[in-house]
Structure 1
Amino acid sequence: MNILWDFDGTLFDTYPAYTEVLYKILGEKIEKDSIYKELKVSFSHAIQFFGLTEQQIKEIKTMNKEIDVSAVKPFPGVEEILKKADTNVIMTHKSYAGVTHFLRHYGWEKYFAEIVTLENGFPRKPAVDSYHYLHTKYSIDLAIGDRELDLIPANKLGIQTCMFQNQCEIADFHLVDYADFFTVYPVTDKA
């Protein structure tokens, strides 16, 4: 099985740390739950929703780079799926350095054949370009994400989709916990 993964909110529980950053930038005037909810739509959406200035966006990007790697944990059960998959790839809007920083810390670089970021020149999700590239190269069987925009490109390409800790109509199945993955999506052991 070949899996295309989103990064933030799918492999790693990054949103609590991002919520804290945005909470500080907004002057602690907005409830953290509201910030989290808007970030789960997308970072671009949250920027517009909260009317952030260019200066605030710069501050957020700087503060996000300074998030301690120990403050962001992988979701429980992810590593077992990574081990059983034949090929894993990542498509994310996060920077390559940002992704590899966390992967190295947890010793997970070995699990990924390729990491595609905006630095590769593809348009942002939900454009299909990056997914088409990865699907052509790796014959992707499943795309896993935590937001609808992570699944739209896969859906358009006929790739099966899994929504993690969220709901959307286009997902082929939904997971709240990766412990249920092999029940919902049976995988045989590698030879």
Structure 2
Amino acid sequence: MNILWDFDGTLFDTYPAYTKVFSAVLGEKAKPEDIYKQLKISYTNALNYYEVSEEDQATLMELRKKLAPEEMKPFDHVEEILKWADKNVIMTHKSRKGVLAILQHYGWEHYFSDIVTIDDGYARKPDTEAYVYLHNKHHIDLAIGDRELDLIPAKKLGIATCIFQTECEIADYQLQDYREFFKLGL
């Protein structure tokens, strides 16, 4: 099975670290649990929701760059699936440098045949452009993400979809914990 993975919130639990950064910038304007909810929709959504100024956006970016890879923990049991899959690829809006730093920290870079990041110039999700590229090159069987936004392009291409730790009407499969993956019968 060839799997296309989203990165943030799917392979790695990055949202707590991003919430911490937003909290540092927003201060008492927002509760951490509310920031987390907005980030789960999308980073851009959180910026718009809190009407973050350009100056504060620059501060957010600087603080994000200072986050250590160990603050981005892999989800439990995801490595078992990476080992099982025939091929794994990533499609993310994160920078290549950020993705590689985290993968290398955990020694996971060898699990991935291809990585498409925001640096590659493809249109942002839910556009299908990057998914078409990865599907044509790697014949993707399943796309896994934590947001509907991650699944829409796969659905448009006829690829099976799996939502992680969220509910989503368009998902073919839903997982709350990666231990459940092998019970899906894929």
In structure 2, what is the equivalent of residue 140 of structure 1? Answer: 140
* CA shift digits 1:78-109 (9 cap, x unpaired): 10000010100000000000000000000000
Name the count of aligned residue pairs. Answer: 186
Given the two structures, how large is their TM-score scaled by the length of structure 1? 0.96
Following the alignment from structure 2 to structure 1, what is the Cα–Cα distance between the partners of residues 184 and 18?
A: 30
SS of the counterpart of 1:26? helix
SS of the counterpart of 2:167? coil
Shift of 1:71: 1.5
SS of the counterpart of 1:174? strand
Following the alignment from structure 2 to structure 1, what is the Cα–Cα distance between the partners of residues 147 and 56?
A: 24
Given the two structures, how large is their TM-score scaled by the length of structure 2? 0.98
Following the alignment from structure 1 to structure 2, what is the Cα–Cα distance between the partners of residues 61 and 165?
A: 26
In structure 2, what is the equivalent of residue 126 of structure 1? Answer: 126
* CA shift digits 1:47-73 (9 cap, x unpaired): 110000111111111111111221221
1:100 aligns with 2:115: no
Q: Which blocks of at least 5 consecutive residues in structure 1 are unaligned?
A: 187-191
In structure 2, what is the equivalent of residue 81 of structure 1? Answer: 81
Output the amino acid matched with 1:7: F
CA RMSD of aligned residues (A): 0.7
Output the amino acid matched with 1:120: D
1:175 aligns with 2:179: no
Taking only the aligned residue pairs, the percentage that are identical comes to 58
SS of the counterpart of 2:98? helix
Kindly report which structure 2 residues correspond to 1:51-90, keeping only aligned pairs within 5 A, or say none: 51-90=51-90
Output the amino acid matched with 1:73: K
Structure 1 stretches of at least 4 aligned residues deviating more than 2 Å after TM superposition: none
Q: Which blocks of at least 5 consecutive residues in structure 2 are unaligned?
A: none
Output the amino acid matched with 1:17: A
